[in-house]
Chains A and B, each alone.
Chain A
Amino acid sequence: MSGMSLIVKRITNIVSGFIFMYGIYIILHGHLTPGGGFAGGVIIAGSLILRILAFGSSAEKEKELSRRVPRLMSIGLLIFWGSAFAGLLIASVFFLNAPIFGLGKPFHLLSAGLIPICNIGIGINVAAGLFSIFLALASVKYIMED
């Protein structure tokens, strides 16, 4: 894959950062506006896939990426499981929401207890998972060549 034409590359350079930021916005505002971890994670994975499709990539780069991205996926899942187990450690209730930060005021960014942290964990998990699946499918060609 050597990438697409110059027009596509320029547009991708301008747009992909904004798509990435929009994904982060969807994740961080998951408890306030529609969306959440899954939707934001898919948007972030989409912006990364857009870059790979527009600019192309080399065998070395894809092997390097497909070694590193699954670790990020595990980190995201561990954040979610950790926030589920935090309640078990503190008050011996699984999935306890309130007592670590308190509920906060509604309509504020820092509110709703552990829900933003759960959203961040799901977002990292979904983004890295979809991107690593795409990388695995895209790098089949290099594996065949070897």
Chain B
Amino acid sequence: MIEIYLFLVFMIIAAIIAIEIKDLLAAAIAVGAVGFSVAILFILLQAPDLAIVQIVVEILTVIIFVAVIFRTTAIDETITKRFTPMQIFGLFFYGFFVILFLIIMEKIFNQLSPFGSPIMKIASEYIKMGLPKVGGVNIVADIILDFRGLDTLGEATVLFTSAIGVLAVMRKIGRK
């Protein structure tokens, strides 16, 4: 369990570096560090399905960031050291809401049933019926493509629609 907390602390530090540093290439590398830590966390939590997707998507994201930085500018001019009064005001409100959120969450987590015995019984049903009803050995594929097939159908359609949207914005023919 301790390595999960170590990775969480590392991710928080890397995320703060990514938004505070002036050199944009270092910021992109810090974002990559956060993403690969998420992938390692998925492996530690025994979710190889998610780890594969996370690693590949993270590589693509960092490559596109680095390509954009090489072709444009590498220094972020908008970061300044001095806080404006508006930012101090915002930080004050942010801290207030974080404390409020923690207090409310503490009460909610005390009301939940303990880990391993959820309120909804449907997940154990999925695990029990996966192999006899669907026949796939990989239980994740059974769930996302059969029990929750409509969900995946909508997801694939959303990806198709977003790709079509990018192409429609970026195309040349019919723009004028």
Contact of B56 among A39, A118, A139 (CB under 8 A): A39
Nearest CB of chain A from residue B4's CB, rounded to whole Å: 20
Determine chain B's interface SS by DSSP, over half rule. Answer: helix
Bound together, the chains give a CA A40 to CA B64 distance in angstroms of 19
A133 contacts partner chain B, Cβ-Cβ < 8 Å: yes
B residues near A122, Cβ cutoff 8 Å: 152, 156
Are B135 and A112 neighbours in the complex by a CB distance under 8 Å?
yes
Binds A, one of B92-100, B104-112, B118-126, B160-168: B160-168
Total count of chain B residues near the partner, CB < 8 A: 39
Nearest CB of chain B from residue A59's CB, rounded to whole Å: 11
Contact of A53 among B63, B137, B159 (CB under 8 A): B63
Bound together, the chains give a CA A125 to CA B172 distance in angstroms of 23
Are B57 and A84 neighbours in the complex by a CB distance under 8 Å?
no
Are B167 and A132 neighbours in the complex by a CB distance under 8 Å?
yes
Determine chain A's interface SS by DSSP, over half rule. Answer: helix
Are A130 and B153 neighbours in the complex by a CB distance under 8 Å?
no
Are A36 and B135 neighbours in the complex by a CB distance under 8 Å?
no
Q: Among residues 95 to 146 in chain A, which have CB atoms less than 8 Å away from a CB atom of chain B?
A: 95, 97-98, 103-104, 106-107, 111-113, 115, 118-119, 121-122, 125-126, 129-130, 132-134, 136-137, 139-140, 143, 146
A residues near B138, Cβ cutoff 8 Å: 30-34, 36
Binds A, one of B12-20, B28-36, B141-149: B141-149
Contact of B131 among A73, A106, A113, A139 (CB under 8 A): A106
Q: How does the 8 Å CB contact mask read for B18-61 relative to A, with 1 for contact and 0 for none?
A: 00000000000000000000000000000011001100110110
Q: A107-B137, A146-B172 are in contact. Are A115 and B142 (CB under 8 A)?
A: yes
A86 contacts partner chain B, Cβ-Cβ < 8 Å: no
B69 contacts partner chain A, Cβ-Cβ < 8 Å: no
Query: Which residues of A are in contact with B by a Cβ distance under 8 Å?
Result: 26, 30-36, 38-39, 42-43, 45-46, 49, 53, 66, 70, 73-74, 77, 80-81, 84, 94-95, 97-98, 103-104, 106-107, 111-113, 115, 118-119, 121-122, 125-126, 129-130, 132-134, 136-137, 139-140, 143, 146
Closest 4 CB pairs of A and B: A103-B135, A112-B136, A31-B136, A34-B48
